[in-house]
Amino acid sequence: MKIIQNFGHFLNEKNIGMDDTTDIITVLNILKNAETDDILELRDSLKKLSSKSESLNENFISDMIDNLRNKLKRAFDDRLWKYLIGRKRDFYLNLSDKLNLFDLTSLDDVFEFHPGLKLNGLYLAGGMDKSKDVGAGWRIITENEFEKYPGKKTGLPKIDLKEFGEVEPKRVVDGIYLDMLLDDPNKTKKLYNKPIILNPVRKEVDRNKNPKFGQAAAKYKTFDYETEPEDFDPTFTDLRTTMSKTIEPDDENLVRIADALFLGLNRAGAAGTYGELQIQSFMNKPIFVWMTDPNWILGQTKEEPYGGFSFWSIPHFSKLARNEEEMKILVATIMSYVK
């Protein structure tokens, strides 16, 4: 797998013109809603095509596409086949590479793309301030999924997994241990099984220790265009002080300590989420994605062509789980590689 430098490179690495950009987005949206087995069959067929030594003339490609179409006609519409017919060997090889995004049973491509990768810690990234539950719901489900897997007894204080009950944590770091992790990561990691799970919601409970911050945050959300300038201070001073001194640097340090992001992808992603994705991109760490809203799909409406989440992020994703069932497959695969 080649490194994708940026969104432009992702779309235009083979001199694809502006008219074709829409086609690629259409292809990815079609594939995103197809059955996983169908996507992987298409990927494997494209790999075989890309290795052919014959001259890839139009008739050869048309015959190959016709064979694929007969197998996969249930999953894909005619726009995809018309697009594929017009492409050549290099395009197929690059497209088959991108389809690894949907193969949740293997991380071989991720390890090839990230040499020296060790999955010792995952950071649960995603929307918080825009979420009704501060982003706690999907994170609890993810924490519970990782906690299901066997591991050594840690003897650590029990943690609250809400509807899943209280458990002695094997991987989820909570309470004072998050502070200990920030102070001495190597020592604290040894208390847990791999991979440690870093949940920023558990860290940002610290907000409650500062009543002024909670009051300022509540007041900030009531501001509108009629708010008088003097009302912004000291509210903004309290917010900025707490954010800049504790919340933001702590979250960023957790991202730094983690080996990969586990992203809950939904409409609640805001500036913090994009910042975490950007940090991981600079650090060249994997980003595993679970689309946490079962009623939300990329490309759902004309008004929100990517469901309100930036399509620019997708080239940086390593794996994409499109529902809770696929998330569980992804977690099982991650755990098998950790072992």
Does residue 309 share a domain with residue 205? yes
| DSSP-H helix ranges across the chain | 7-12, 18-32, 36-50, 58-72, 78-85, 89-98, 108-113, 136-147, 176-183, 185-189, 200-203, 211-220, 235-242, 248-257, 271-283, 324-338
Phi, psi for residue 264 in degrees, rounded to 5:
-90, 105
Mean pLDDT of 15-34: 55
Does residue 322 share a domain with residue 301? yes
Distance of CA 303 to the CA centre of its chain: 23
Q: What is the pLDDT of residues 252-303, one digit of tens each?
A: 788 889 999 999 887 655 545 666 676 666 677 899 999 887 665 544 444 4
Q: How many separate domains does the chain show? A: 2
| Lowest-confidence segment of 15-19, 91-95, 305-309 by average pLDDT | 15-19
Beta bridge mates, 262: 124, 288
Q: DSSP characters for 83-98?
A: HHHT--HHHHHHHHHH
Does residue 75 share a domain with residue 206? no
Q: How many residues does the chain have?
A: 339
Does residue 130 share a domain with residue 95? no
The CA distance from 234 to 248, in Å, is 20
Does residue 314 fall inside a structural domain?
A: yes
Distances in Å between the Cα of 317 and the Cα atoms of 17, 24, 25 are: 23, 16, 15
Does residue 67 share a domain with residue 140? no
Number of H helices, E strands in the chain: 16, 7
Q: Which domain holds residue 293?
A: 116-338
Does residue 123 share a domain with residue 74? no
Does residue 242 share a domain with residue 145? yes
Tell which residue, 190, 200, 203, 202, has the closest CA to residue 120: 190
Report strand pairing: 196-198 vs 319-321.
unpaired
Does residue 111 fall inside a structural domain?
A: no
Q: 10 Å Cβ neighbour count for 234? A: 12
Instruction: Identify which has the larger pLDDT, 229 or 314.
Output: 314
Q: Is the peptide bond before 294 cis (omega within 30 degrees of 0)?
A: no
Does residue 57 share a domain with residue 190? no
Last-in-domain residue among 103, 133, 148: 103
The CA distance from 167 to 107, in Å, is 29
Does residue 285 share a domain with residue 261? yes
Contact in structure between 318 and 113 (CB atoms under 8 Å): yes
Mean pLDDT of 104-132: 87
Does residue 259 fall inside a structural domain?
A: yes
Q: What is the pLDDT of residues 149-192, one digit of tens each?
A: 999 999 999 999 999 999 999 999 999 999 999 999 999 999 99
The CA distance from 266 to 308, in Å, is 8
Does residue 49 fall inside a structural domain?
A: yes
Does residue 179 fall inside a structural domain?
A: yes
Last-in-domain residue among 60, 78, 103: 103
Residue 4 CB contacts under 8 Å (≥ 6 apart), including other chains? 10, 13, 315, 316
The CA distance from 244 to 81, in Å, is 51
Confidence (pLDDT) at 58? 53
**Can you give the pTM of this predicted structure?**
0.77
Q: 10 Å Cβ neighbour count for 276? A: 24
Does residue 108 fall inside a structural domain?
A: no
Confidence (pLDDT) at 1? 42
Does residue 176 share a domain with residue 227? yes
Last-in-domain residue among 41, 68, 103: 103
The CA distance from 31 to 24, in Å, is 11
Which structure tokens are listed for 172?
């989820």
Phi, psi for residue 336 in degrees, rounded to 5:
-65, -30
Does residue 121 share a domain with residue 98? no
Does residue 27 share a domain with residue 163? no
Contact in structure between 74 and 296 (CB atoms under 8 Å): no
Most confident of 29-38, 78-87, 327-336: 327-336
CA dihedral 63, 102, 107, 265 (to 10 degrees): 160
Contact in structure between 144 and 164 (CB atoms under 8 Å): yes
Q: Say whether pLDDT at 17 is over 60.
A: no
What CATH number does residue 150 fall under? 3.40.50.450
Does residue 177 fall inside a structural domain?
A: yes
